[in-house]
Structure 1
């Protein structure tokens, strides 16, 4: 827990810098038109006709994971959402953490419990860190909100192939 708290404190500056660099939310809104592009190993790739980009999505139990790139295609995002109560206060912003094979990554969770399509709450992580992308593509399990009451685990099987199909989608 101490390691987690130290990491949380150390990432605050980097996190606010990433948010400033990309103020608009990269995740699709409820009004975006998503068209299924393909499926691979439990992941679905969508072309977002509203924004002109693509994303990969995997639903599991009470949650969903989305990955894609920001409008300028230089920064990637990982969105993690759940229908479970995360203990977030509405309209508040707090940090969201994921652990991939022991490597912690941070982002922002906007408390929108029940306001996102399907009643999901959660947030996203923006990153241009090649290690983050590599971990998502090559590792097999991700813990979301580690060491909190809302923690859940996501199977990353097939992520590498889904990312490749998502990249192909972006070229069309």
Structure 2
């Protein structure tokens, strides 16, 4: 069986488990994404965080928001690199600074990063503590154990940040 990425292109085992999806209101792209099957459990939050930056940087909203959602801790290899990026290089601080200084035409006035753990049992584990300490702070880290809790947290973030996730006018 051939593993393919979001665009339908073949992937090898070295491909990241995160997908760069441009901001869209195209129902076909969103439907395709919802139907994807991801094989394996290779969690790599660093890849997801870094791959979001080109899309975020292109946006013209003065407030930039990154929401990290994961169902587990990073796999061994990615975890080692992610730990170094957070602890030694303060990657989240650098991301925020970079986005604030990136686009002079559409000036960014604020950047927030949120972390949501989809814990099966609702326990606040080491992964959430790590993200609280080294990236998002106490107010931007959440643990949810069911769909309704996830929707409520996303609504809370949306209200706080005054953002719209998807332009639904085309649906």
TM over 0.5: no
Shorter-chain TM-score bucket reads: under 0.3
Question: What TM-score do you get using the length of structure 1 for normalisation?
Answer: 0.27
Tell which structure's C-alpha radius of gyration is larger.
2
Question: What TM-score do you get using the length of structure 2 for normalisation?
Answer: 0.27
- Higher strand proportion: 1
